[in-house]
Amino acid sequence: MNGYVGRFAPSPTGPLHAGSLVAALASWLDARAHSGQWLLRIEDVDTPRTVAGADQHILQQLAACGLHPDAPPTWQSSRTAHYEAALQQVQAAGLAYPCTCSRKDIEMALALQGHTRTRHAELVYPGSCRAQVQHPMARANAWRLRTEKPPAAHLRWQDRRLGAQEQSVSQSVGDFVLRRADGCWTYQLAVVVDDAAQGISHVVRGQDLADNTARQIWLQQCLGLPTPHYLHTPLVLGADGHKLSKQNGAQALDLSEPLQALNAAAAALGWPAQTGTTGEALAAWTAMAAQAGSPVALPLAPST
Ligand SMILES: [Zn+2]
């Protein structure tokens, strides 16, 4: 398939760990198995969480594993003009509005409505600022995307691994933030704008990000952008049974033995260990992924 363009998009909040290498390897294998392109994007829009030098460290780690991109990497911090243009587009269409709510404001509004709706510990925004005609611009405001503009954002899509998915964004998440009050662009906005700008046809990423998919498809529709194919890879669990992440202190990969790190990542995707060079191992897994039509060989766990 010549139109295949995939990507790996790490946040530079620390070095790659075993879990992020699984997502990197899966996206690389899927691109190679489709004879497609594989791009790298550094997602550094959440500036308070960005760690200086982590981006270069990640690029070195990927190179040590033989995962080379087909174009120079891009940095989201250099693309703010594109995010601004996208925000202006939904503002002009009446699809976004300013919100001055603090977390406490949202908690109080939900309590007045008699419930405290949350999704993954995030409060479901009750729409407090949606109907305001005149917005007080005295304090810094966030910009939220409407999810109840008819038709309400109830989305159905197919995940290549998880199967048929659906989510009512308006009920499960509420109108969500595109730009935060501190001026930072959100993950949702930056990913949607960049996936479209880079012509990404296939998104392969960790299952911890699967819950963002409906919001991203809704924003794509609001911006008139195409929706890529999605595949979410199995999570790598730590010894405590929780998913490995930079936040819970997953160790950085030791890349003095890149084949060992790759074999561990491949095992998490269900592929057998290889010997020889990293190049030979990657070629063997690429052939297997091409035959399987998926970068993941593991059957879906019944709990998901
Ligand atoms: Zn508000």
CA of residue 28 to ligand 1 center, whole Å: 40
Amino acid type, 9: A
Q: Is 275 helix (H, G, I), strand (E, B) or coil?
A: coil
pLDDT tens, the chain, 304 aa long: 469 999 999 999 999 988 899 999 999 999 999 999 999 999 999 888 899 999 999 999 999 999 999 999 999 999 999 999 999 999 999 999 999 898 888 888 888 888 777 777 778 998 889 877 655 555 679 999 999 876 677 899 999 999 999 999 999 999 999 999 999 999 999 999 999 999 999 999 999 999 999 999 999 999 999 999 999 999 887 666 666 665 555 667 878 899 999 999 999 999 999 999 999 999 999 999 999 999 999 888 765 4
Half-sphere exposure of 219 (CA within 13 A, CB side): 28
CA of residue 128 to ligand 1 center, whole Å: 5
pLDDT at residue 237 in the model = 74
pLDDT at residue 76 in the model = 96
Alpha-carbon distance of 119 to 210, in angstroms, equals 13
Taking CA 98 as the corner, what is the angle to CA 122 and CA 194, rounded to the nearest 5 degrees? 70
Q: Which two tokens stand for residue 115?
A: 């419930």
CA of residue 275 to ligand 1 center, whole Å: 56
CA of residue 78 to ligand 1 center, whole Å: 29
CA of residue 58 to ligand 1 center, whole Å: 37
All structural domains of the chain = 5-78+236-292 (3.40.50.620), 96-179 (3.90.800.10)
CA of residue 83 to ligand 1 center, whole Å: 21
CA of residue 134 to ligand 1 center, whole Å: 13
CA of residue 152 to ligand 1 center, whole Å: 19
Contacts of residue 32, defined as CB under 8 A and 6 or more positions apart, other chains included, come to 38, 282, 286, 289, 290
**CB contact at 8 A, 169 and 155:** yes
Alpha-carbon distance of 192 to 187, in angstroms, equals 8
**CB contact at 8 A, 125 and 103:** no
pLDDT at residue 180 in the model = 94
Q: Give, for 87, the enclosing helix (H) or strand (E).
A: helix 80-92
Q: Which one, of 284, 294, 292, lies nearest residue 232 by Cα?
A: 294
CA of residue 127 to ligand 1 center, whole Å: 6
pLDDT at residue 186 in the model = 96
CA of residue 146 to ligand 1 center, whole Å: 12
Neighbours of 125 (CB within 10 A): 23
